[in-house]
Amino acid sequence: MLGKGLQALSGWPETDYLEVVRVKQRIQVTRILTAAAVLGLGLMVAMQAQARFGTPEEIAERLKPSGELCLEGMECGAAAAEVAAGPAMSGEEVYASVCAACHDTGAAGAPRKGDTAAWGDRLNKSLDDLTASTINGLGAMPPRGGSNYSDEEIRDAVEFLVDASR
C-alpha cells in the first residue's frame, strides 16, 4: 500500500517504478555481498598471518629477553647464584676453553705453553703470585683471561699451564 502511494507521488508508471526499486535492491545486495567478500578476505589474510607468525602471546614469548646481564657489584638475585653453582672445571678444561687461544700461539706476547725459555723468571714466582696476575690481568691479558671462572678454577688453569711449561 505504501509502495503504491510512493509510486503515485513519483508520477512514474507502475512498471517503471517497480523496476527502479528492483535495481536499487540489487545495488544494495551487491554492496552487502561485496562488503562481506572484503571482510572474508581480510579475515583470511589475518588468519594466514597468525598461522605464519603465531598468536600475539607466541610472538611476545619469542621476543622476550633470553637472559639478563649481571655485572660485579649489582644485585642479581638467584640468577647469579644458579650460574655460579655449575660444576667446577678442571685446570686443563679452563686452559683449553680460554687460555689456549693466546698461550698456544704466543698471541699478544703471551708465553707459549711448554716454552721454558719464554716462561723464564715467571717460573720462579709463586703460584699465588701468578694466579693473582691472571685474576687481575697483566699486559694484554684481560682480568681472568676474559672469562668468568672462579678463583679456584683460574688457579687450577695457572697450575696446569705452569706444570706444562717447566
Domain definitions of the chain by residue range: 2-62, 89-165
Length of the chain: 166
Question: pLDDT at position 6, please?
Answer: 58
Q: Which helix (H) or strand (E) holds 28?
A: helix 14-53
Question: pLDDT at position 157, please?
Answer: 92
The per-residue pLDDT for range 101-149, each reduced to its tens digit, is 999 998 888 999 998 998 888 889 999 999 999 999 888 889 998 889 9
DSSP string over 93-122:
HHIIIIIHHHHTTTGGGPPPTT-HHHHGGG
Lowest mean pLDDT among 73-82, 119-128, 150-159: 73-82
Asked whether 139 and 130 are in contact (CB, 8 A), the reply is: no
Confidence of residue 21 (pLDDT cuts 50, 70, 90): confident
- How far apart are the C-alpha atoms of 88 and 18, rounded to whole Å? 93
Q: Does 1.20.1730.10 match the CATH number of domain 89-165?
A: no
Query: C-alpha distances in angstroms, 45 versus 28, 51, 52, 142?
Result: 26, 10, 10, 54
Q: Which one is predicted more confidently, 8 or 162?
A: 162
Computed over every residue of the chain, the mean pLDDT equals 84
- How far apart are the C-alpha atoms of 116 and 111, rounded to whole Å? 9
